[in-house]
């Protein structure tokens, strides 16, 4: 957990616990060893694809575990990764974020976003940092990289490198996961667990208050709250929309066509005023 600047957070809900479960679809090892491999992590990509990471990202302390299996390009920047994680876990980008890691050169780094917050805190700004600097796709296992969102609630996302991958250019994909993401400003893992517990039991002494808070915080009726549902197809549609905003396709060049008459090269205005 990033605890360097705890004063930049906000309070949340009451505390509690929820019952947990194991991830039945996990792939890849839980630990890895060895020295840093060469900076080239994958072989030549297939036509139309780019080298990518296959990552398992989980939110520390959630029971049952909230996790996503993501494929992201090696060249994704830290701000772009932040937006992808926000989308993947249903966050709303209301708070500061940070990454703490030991990079591929063995250097400890604390990276903060947005950049103005990094300047205020005296840490490294996120802009311009590429994930390729921080993670080795060949080094499978738990990574020395944590992403923390909302320094008050302290949602710590743990990374595990499954291995190298290839990805269609300009895309991010989710290939697995479990459970919906937490509710913003729920008070961290204990507050969110208490929210789940209270909303599931109409007889709970906090049910009415927390149902009202949930509606206020999300704009949705508390009766629609489904903490154990995850829809990868719906998430990929949102990731596609994000990718189109972040990496729009370059404009296509029109091929010139043979002239079909004296007005073929005229603009609309000239066609209306100059051509007969």
- The confidence score (pLDDT) of residue 248 equals 73
pLDDT tier for residue 45 given thresholds of 50, 70 and 90:
low
Count CA within 13 A, CB hemisphere, residue 108: 2
Best mean pLDDT range from 42-56, 109-123, 240-254: 109-123
Q: Is residue 58 exposed (0-12), middle (13-18) or buried (19+ Cβ within 10 Å)? A: buried
Q: Is residue 62 exposed (0-12), middle (13-18) or buried (19+ Cβ within 10 Å)? A: buried
d(CA 266, CA 276): 12
pLDDT at 72 > cutoff 60? yes
Q: Which residue has the tokens 């940070």?
A: 98
Q: Which domains does the chain have, with CATH numbers?
A: 6-33+45-246 (3.10.290.30)
Q: Is residue 160 exposed (0-12), middle (13-18) or buried (19+ Cβ within 10 Å)? A: buried
pLDDT at 38 > cutoff 60? no
- The confidence score (pLDDT) of residue 43 equals 52
pLDDT at 105 > cutoff 50? yes
pLDDT at 16 > cutoff 50? no
pLDDT tier for residue 246 given thresholds of 50, 70 and 90:
confident
- The confidence score (pLDDT) of residue 181 equals 98
pTM of this prediction?
0.76
Q: Is residue 21 exposed (0-12), middle (13-18) or buried (19+ Cβ within 10 Å)? A: exposed
If you average pLDDT over every residue of the chain, what do you get? 81
Q: Note whether 180 and 226 are within 8 A (CB).
A: yes
Q: What is the mean pLDDT of residues 213-232?
A: 96
Of 30 and 232, the one with more pLDDT: 232
Of 27 and 57, the one with more pLDDT: 57
Interval 252-261: pLDDT, tens:
544 444 444 4
């Amino acid at each position: 957990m990033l605890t360097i600047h705890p004063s930049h957070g906000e309070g949340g809900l009451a505390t509690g616990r929820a019952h947990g479960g194991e991830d039945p679809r996990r792939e890849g090892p839980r630990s890895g060893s060895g020295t840093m491999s060469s900076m080239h992590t994958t072989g030549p990509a297939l036509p139309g694809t780019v080298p990518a990471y296959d990552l398992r990202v989980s939110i520390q302390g959630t029971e049952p575990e909230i996790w996503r299996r993501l494929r992201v390009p090696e060249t994704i920047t830290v701000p772009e990764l932040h937006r992808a994680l926000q989308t993947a876990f249903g966050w709303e980008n209301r708070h500061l974020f940070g990454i703490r890691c030991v990079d591929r050169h063995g250097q400890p780094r604390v990276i903060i976003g947005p950049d103005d917050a990094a300047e205020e805190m005296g840490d490294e700004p996120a802009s311009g940092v590429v994930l390729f600097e921080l993670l080795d796709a060949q080094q499978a296992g738990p990574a020395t990289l944590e992403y923390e969102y909302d320094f008050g609630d302290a949602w710590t996302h743990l990374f595990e490198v499954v291995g190298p991958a290839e990805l269609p250019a300009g895309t991010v994909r989710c290939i697995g996961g479990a459970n919906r993401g937490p509710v913003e400003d729920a008070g961290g893992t204990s507050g969110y667990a208490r929210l789940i517990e209270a909303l599931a039991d109409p007889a709970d002494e906090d049910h009415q208050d927390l149902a009202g808070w949930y509606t206020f915080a999300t704009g949705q009726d508390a009766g629609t709250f489904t903490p154990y549902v995850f829809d990868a197809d719906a998430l990929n549609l949102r990731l596609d929309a994000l990718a189109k905003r972040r990496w729009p396709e370059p404009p296509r060049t029109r091929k010139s066509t043979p002239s079909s008459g004296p007005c073929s090269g005229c603009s609309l205005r000239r066609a209306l005023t100059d051509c007969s």
